[in-house]
Amino acid sequence: MKLLFILDPLDQLKTAKDSSLAIMREATERGQALFISVQHGLFLRGDQAKVQAQSFTFTATGYALGEANEFSPGDFNALLMRKDPPFDNEYLYSTYLLEIAAQQGAKVFNNPKAVRDWNEKLSVTRFAEFAPAFLVTANNDLLREFLREQQDIVVKPLDGMGGSSVFRLTAHDPNINVILETITDFGRRTIMAQRYLPEILQGDKRIIVIDGEPLPYALARIPKAGETRGNLAAGGTGVAQALSARDLHIAKTVGAVLKQQGLLFVGLDVIGDYLTEINVTSPTGMVEIAQQTDCKPASVFMDALERQ
């Protein structure tokens, strides 16, 4: 097969633990031909989707790239969109271009329309039975009321990743007003507030779901001392652990819906017994799980991709 990976610039990837590179290594071992592009390598020439891409080969010292050439997306057996958020207007436009490519015969994973429709924060509202108490609004008065009710909350933007701009607020925090004014841009930006879950101290569990089925292990991202966020990008430590019965119930229920939507590779975030996010853009955690368990996530993913 010829596989095209749409990535962030290679020099921005953390090569030791990047899930995209883990998948690419597995694909190489299976004899697949790899190509890479960046977000703005996608374009339209008239009504035809096109992409500027380079061949990619692993070497003993890193990797080698071929010359950039113009391709039709249908020249590849699969396009894998692995660009990290923020999910800004440029990301939105990319999903439109990928949707056009899919209409012209390309196989795109994850389904670009589903990526657009499944905001990684708001999507938990589709499974409210699994979510902690939450509020989505730009209204600071409503947020302060929610804080008075819950006493301890987390507020976060709808388009970020890696714990960026996530704040914990308690009812007696002296910085309530300035934090809310900042994160909502004085009531002009919609955010999500969720009840704070003290189980975060045992880890923010990343559950990888591939083709509707969860891996048997989650990666519990445990916050460093004095930190609220468990994200690895915020200094958390990743510890692989077997799924609990509750984890499995959440993952299988959500996974069945995700599969119907064409979301092949998804990362669920679960704290304690609660679903807090559904990551559909570029989930991570494969490498750490592979290093700490007998599970090989990249192999499971390639099996699923080949079935598709």
Q: Name the residues annotated as catalytic.
A: 121, 156, 206, 221, 229, 269, 277, 279
Tokens of 160: 């970020």
Q: How do beta strands 33-38 and 2-7 pair?
A: parallel
What sign does the CA torsion over 178, 182, 184, 187 have? positive
End-to-end C-alpha distance for the chain, whole angstroms: 12
List of residues 6+ apart from 303 with CB closer than 8 A: none
**In angstroms, rounded to a whole number, what is the distance separating the alpha carbons of residues 51 and 140?**
43
